[in-house]
A and B are shown apart, each in its own frame.
Chain A
């Protein structure tokens, strides 16, 4: 089970700042797409180190592929 926290700031002129906490890689891209759909166009986007960390499922996939390759040898 994963938990993501999002902080949304709606400024007095309607501009929106969204902080996404805990989501990595594709999950983060999905949130970005969702907020684009709800609010409007992206003016600025900043991905922090956590974004580039592998998602748990991706890590497992890589491990299992490695095992298959080793078995083939």
Chain B
């Protein structure tokens, strides 16, 4: 072993790459990706109480050149929905709505999605960049703690 690095992730990408990461995260978390989800939460019964929280992704930047004016993704699961969009500062923002849920529950749910989107984005980027450089991925595995392990080999001639 000659070096060990610990790196903090940053998402600096165009909207298509972010959409791909969100789609992957949604599939992994068993969430639906549809606009109807937002509608479902926005038309509650009179007895329902809708609670909302906002989460941002500090180390993120959605590249302006990739925007077409319709950058919003809505995910849903049971009685909760998450709207993911680019805020006025160019960062990714997660707006979480839930029926009869506490703010703590929604924050926890939102944080889980933020983390999964980050992990999926980084995975996609690592694999794509290594492939582009001709570095061979030998093996991949996901351990019980949901850490993704990628083993690669680089041969220099």
Contacts and interface: CB of A to CB of B under 8 A. Distances in A.
A52 to B, nearest CB: 9
Interface in B17-47: none
A17 B149 CA distance: 10
A38 B133 CA distance: 12
A15 B8 contact: yes
B118 interface: yes
A13 B59 CA distance: 12
B5 A44 contact: yes
B3 A45 contact: yes
Interface residues of B, number: 36
Nearest to B112: A12
Contact of A12 (B119, B151, B157): B119
Contacts, number: 147
A28 to B, nearest CB: 5
B108 interface: no
B151 A18 contact: no
Given A1-B156, A28-B2, A40 B9 contact: yes
A70 interface: no
B151 A5 contact: yes
B78 interface: no
A3 B2 CA distance: 13
B83 interface: no
Nearest to B5: A18
Interface string B125-157: 110010001010000000001111111111111
B67 interface: no
A27 B154 CA distance: 11
B59 A40 contact: yes
Contacts of A46: 3-5
A22 interface: yes
A4 B9 contact: no
Contacts of B1: 19-21, 48, 50
Nearest to B151: A7
Interface of A: 1-24, 27-28, 31-32, 34-48, 50-51
